[in-house]
Amino acid sequence: MARPGAGAAAKVIGCTVRRFRHDRGWSLEELAARADMSYQFLSEVETGKRNFSIATLAKLCGALGMQIVTMIMAAYDVLPARDGAPSA
């Protein structure tokens, strides 16, 4: 079975960043400011158009108030992503 590449992983995690941002009711600009990055860059991360580093993921997770492992596990449906509700 083939494993997804970095681009696929970035897209899955980017979608999860967006989901957590929406859960908090934040705009792109709000999260970008909290994570000290441009909203344009964040938009590209969330839509999977941009690969990103672990350092960028750490900044986003810090701004969202969560650990990197929580983000990754939520991205791959290993744990509930929203207030205890199972991921869809």
Question: What is the per-residue pLDDT for 61?
Answer: 98
Is residue 71 a part of any domain in this protein?
Answer: yes
DSSP SS3 for 82 = strand
Share in percent of the chain as helix, strand, coil (round to 5)? 60, 0, 40
Q: Is 30 exposed, middle or buried (0-12, 13-18, 19+ CB in 10 A)?
A: middle
pTM of the model: 0.81
**Greater confidence, 76 or 86?**
76
Say whether pLDDT at 84 is over 70: no
Element (H, E) at 39: helix 39-46
CATH number, residue 10:
1.10.260.40
Instruction: Measure the CA–CA gap between 64 and 15, rounded to whole angstroms.
Output: 14
- Could you read off the pLDDT of 5-18 as tens digits, one per residue? 667 889 999 999 99
Is residue 26 a part of any domain in this protein?
Answer: yes
Overall number of domains in the chain: 1
- Could you read off the pLDDT of 25-62 as tens digits, one per residue? 999 999 999 999 999 999 999 999 999 999 999 999 99
Is residue 85 a part of any domain in this protein?
Answer: no
